[in-house]
Chain A
Amino acid sequence: MGQTAPHVCGYLTERFSDDAFGSFAGYREAGGYETARHALNRMTPEEVIAVVKSSGLQGRGGASFPAGLKWSFMPTDDEGPSYLVCNADESEPGSFKDRLLMERGPHQLLEGLLIAAWAVGAETTFLYVRGEYAEAASVLARAIGEARAKGVLGPRALGSDFGHDVVLVRGAGAYICGEETGLLESLEGKKGQPRRKPPYPAQRGAFGRPTTVNNVETFCHVPHILKNGADWFRGIGTEQSPGTLLFGVSGHVVRPGLYELPLGTRLDEILFEYAGGVPGGRRVKGVIPGGISTPILPAGLLDVRMANEFLRERHTLLGTGGIMVMDETTCMVRVGCIASGFFRDESCGQCTQCREGTGWLDQLLHRLERGDGSDGDLALLGDVADKMEGGTICSFADAAAWPVQGLLRHFGDEFAGHVSARGCPLDQSFAL
């Protein structure tokens, strides 16, 4: 990645083309850590939480949970240590925004972490980085070293009475460790399997202590919100979904990449104006709006604003903002196979519906793709997906079921065509 800058920048990414921004000196030069210094020395944790709450910042890890509200769940009367966890296990297929935020702006992230740690009263932050993100991990390790050396981290962070350190932890390559309690298990050295909730992490999180977990991008917004104010933040994006989001556009587009745009930007605008549309004069067929687990939208439904309140009306979600574009040559059954193969491989295997359902979906979809499907298989596929939904420890089973439901909703005819044609009726001469 390294040299690739986003095509469109906002406050998060505007300095990313400047290599110096990744260093401590460069970040300070740009005014970095002044917001944290102010927060730690001049603001109470309650005041910080109040600003973040009123900013309306929603988690950028996929679930869009209000960040300030989450922080306010941390007990204030607890005696022992509590923790902040930065979820940098970005592994949703189609999502690659956190990687850039870490590789190009490590100190921006650290500043966000420090402010959040102060707000929730965490003595230590665990920065859990996806195992495959070797470059990001090494950039962050260097940045943490600089921050310690310069007194940003340490017993008196930025000259305040607040002692804080950031511990870098690397994952070992499991999608489920991006689920916050799966992450906590992994962090504790156990097998990555989501925990039953309640207790929620704010009650009993890492090592049994109160813990707040947020996504990389969520933290990166925090210094900007504190610096510019909640009203400024609310002025960007939509009323219900303020701020910008790093949309990652991949697939059949002329200019794949990251685009920092206000939430509520129209999907067709992102696709055609920013990403340059579909190459080779082909037509778009379907778009997955927010990472593999969000249901697909067909070409006719792309005139939607990218924010949950609008996407929900079209039976899909914002997710992580990882937009995957597929043109007319794409076989939607094959898309289903790729998604189901991923989820089958990554299910932790605890809950019956997920463990057995992901395997069954995968087998059914592959059978359809091979041309061995029968008329009843489409209904069965939908029914299995429905049975997986809503009844498990975490939302992984939902995430595995939704893409199948979306594909059946919008491309049911193509699935039926695979049954009648005993195989894929599309021209498969391209490479996916």
Chain B
Amino acid sequence: MPTITVDGRRLEVPEGSTLLQALDELGLLMNGVDVPHYCWHPKLSVDGSCRLCQVEIEGVPKLQIACDTPVADGMVVHTTSERVQRAREGVMELLLVNHPLDCPICDQAGECKLQDYAVDYGLDHARTREPRRPGRKRVELGPTIVFDEERCILCRRCVRFCREVPETGELVVENRGDRSRITTFPGTPLDNPYSMNVADVCPVGALTTRDFRFKVRVWDLDEVPGLCTGCSKGCNVHVGVARGAVQRYTPRRNDQVNETWICDEGRLSYREIGAPDRITRPAVRDAEGRMQPVSIARAIERAAERIRAAVLREGPAVVAALASPHATNEDLTELRRLLDGIGTATSGAAVVEGEPDGLLLQAERAGNARGARDLGFGDPGLVFEKIRGGGVRVLLVMGRDLLAEPFLGGTDPLASLDAVILLDTHRSALEQVADVVIPGRMLAEKGGSMTNHAGLVQRVPAALEPAFDAHAEGAVLARLRAALELVLPARSEGAA
């Protein structure tokens, strides 16, 4: 590996990389070695046009752009010399000649690279008296993205993204010189399953998502690491929380998983957390068959009663469970402990499948399908068979995926059971047949780990507390086990 010296620091760098790539791979870029840049993006091709990343290399007369300069053994690089600072100042000044400086009303303010670098590397005053170039405002490039031409600095990351990642190529630069502008190819609106990533790669407030625009100022957001649970890819996200609610997901870089991207469907899946159809309070069915809200303690007690009665009457094998592939490994471990305690092995997990897209979206549309399988919750077919054959009296259900085809297709097969104990986050037809309903939590509300399709276990913290009486499934199951342990002879005799 070549060794280079950057600002007096000796670094071993990957062969064949550019200076920026090398600094990025060492985790030093803008994190110890500051080489500001606009057009360069770690996951897109080199453009070399913004000219901000110029550095001084000993023995080379002109400043060189770090994004397009290959490392060479013995190279000595200066990123903070006066020449470099002057060059950056020049580029920053020129970038601002036509910028509207409308930060107070710009959605990007607070997470804007133009703002940040203007403060860090720019002049503290404007020297231009010329009128600023007018541009189109509020241009809907497609169903998801709104464009403000005046704010655009023409780094062309969005153009390269569309060409190189979804390979749809909707965006182009039209015209030339200072009349250059980003637009869509005629007749081709920006509309692809990854379109909203252009708002992330845009370093300024030119491209914003219709979803997040004007919703909240970014400095009011708590950004907590999280995972998208829409499919088994396990894309890393920042969960943006404000006013007690999740306001957005943005992709969090993880080169092993999602690089810097997320699909639009996954990005918008944060909406499920604050959806109006959340189950918000525990309930049990009364003697007249009506659901009555109860405390979580009472709901767990009722569940324990149902299980206990069935086991005492017909043995532990009549208890079965359908695990949720959306639950965390911690939740599912508690479920496994409970089932072991009861002494039943009848369990599985229903995982809904769709078409994979070859990029991020996986066939299995559940964040922890692999984790569920690894914990022994596999094909649910046997459970369904046993239900249909009358061999199940009490069914513990986590999640509503079993309602989908090709699984149960509806609640009818469950009508004849003694009891359905439902732990779920969102309302569904399962409530019609449930004896006990306990509201669960989404990953962002409880934290925990999930295992992605490739076997990578990823743990994230809780990002927010739900505003209603919802409970982490693992905690509920632990309490249920505690309630049962006192009375189950099977457990104390160890006959699992």
| Residues of chain A having any CB pair with chain B under 8 Å | 174, 176, 191, 196, 344-353, 355-360, 363-364, 367, 380, 387-388, 390-393
Contact = CB atoms under 8 A, between A and B. Distances in A.
A346 B178 CA distance: 10
A356 B87 contact: no
B13 interface: no
Which of A352, A353, A357 has the most chain B CB atoms inside 10 A of its CB?
Answer: A352
Contact of B154 (A344, A346, A355, A358): A355
Interface stretch (B92-100, B260-268, B362-370): B92-100
Contact of A380 (B46, B52, B91, B127): B127
Contacts of B154: 349, 355
A391 B94 contact: no
B130 A349 contact: no
Interface string B171-189: 0010111111000000000
Q: What does DSSP make chain B's interface, helix, strand, loop or mixed? A: loop
Interface in B50-99: 50-52, 54, 62-63, 68, 87, 90-91, 93-95, 97-98
B49 interface: yes
Contact of B176 (A348, A390, A392): A348
Contacts of B292: none
A355 B127 contact: no
Interface in B294-343: none
Contact of B179 (A349, A360, A388, A390): A349
15 contacts: A196-B68, A346-B176, A350-B49, A352-B94, A353-B91, A355-B180, A356-B95, A356-B98, A356-B178, A358-B178, A359-B133, A360-B128, A388-B94, A391-B54, A391-B91
Contacts of B129: 367
Interface in B142-195: 153-154, 173, 175-180
Contacts of B461: none
Given A196-B48, A390-B62, 8 more contacts: A346-B176, A349-B173, A349-B179, A349-B180, A353-B51, A353-B91, A353-B94, A388-B94
Q: What does DSSP make chain A's interface, helix, strand, loop or mixed? A: helix
Q: How large is the interface on B (under 10, 10 to 19, 20 to 34, 35 or more residues)?
A: 20 to 34
A347 B97 contact: no
B440 to A, nearest CB: 52
A358 B93 CA distance: 13
A16 to B, nearest CB: 36
Contacts of B52: 352
A391 B87 contact: yes
B94 A387 contact: yes
Contact of A393 (B48, B128, B180): B48
Contacts of A344: 177-178
Nearest to B177: A347
A419 B130 CA distance: 16
Contact of A347 (B62, B98, B178): B178
A344 B61 CA distance: 28
A355 B62 contact: no
Interface in B15-69: 46-52, 54, 62-63, 68
